Copies of this chain bind each other. A is one copy, B any other.
């Protein structure tokens, strides 16, 4: 019962101990910021400066402010780390094991976002933050490896049903680029002809009658995602068939 506890809380405002009982929990957001570069899916990591995890990398995150919505906190972290704000962002899961943070009880809400690396060259001047290929990551600070894996698993699900993958690509792209991105995310090789058939059935793409430039081979046609599919989040799940 939320109400009962809140009553206790109100009387506890002055009683310090009881107040701390209920509120001695930190709550943060952690951001899995994903980009696509050189045919690899990459995640933005920062060096952990905690003694317990010296030398390890961790996901960017921060405490949520008492007057700040969850998404707002994620966007703030994202803005600080990348300078971007108009990006795909989605909540994945909340992690809160009592032992997950060495300094005390901290519950974290994990978000993942997809950004177009080429279109937004972020300043990586400080060697504080770097892109890391997700396939090469073996260990992270805290439970961040688990968080990363959970996000990747969610991404793989989303990618099959929703047009979210396009947030990782430039506005205009070739079918080859799109297929390579699917392959990078799903970790499988796809047949070019079947892939194109499946994509064309979904009717997501607009043929803009332009060609690739500066490729060392025959240029492919360029496409854009149709406007009605440009989403910055997927809240509700689409239904599957069971008739």
Contact = CB atoms under 8 A, between A and B. Distances in A.
Contacts of A70: 94, 96-97, 107
Interface in A49-105: 49-50, 58, 60-70, 91, 93-94, 96-98, 101, 103-105
A178 to B, nearest CB: 12
Given A62-B2, A94-B109, A98-B68, A25 B27 contact: yes
Interface in A108-163: 108-109, 142, 153-154, 156-157, 160-161
Interface in A21-67: 21-28, 30, 46, 48-50, 58, 60-67
A203 interface: no
This chain: how many copies in the complex? Answer: 2
A228 interface: no
Contact of A98 (B6, B26, B67, B101): B67
B243 A3 contact: no
* Chain A interface residue bracket vs B: 35 or more
Contacts of A160: 240, 242
Interface of A: 1-3, 5-6, 9-10, 20-28, 30, 46, 48-50, 58, 60-70, 91, 93-94, 96-98, 101, 103-109, 142, 153-154, 156-157, 160-161, 182, 186, 188, 190-191, 194, 198, 236-237, 239-240, 242-243
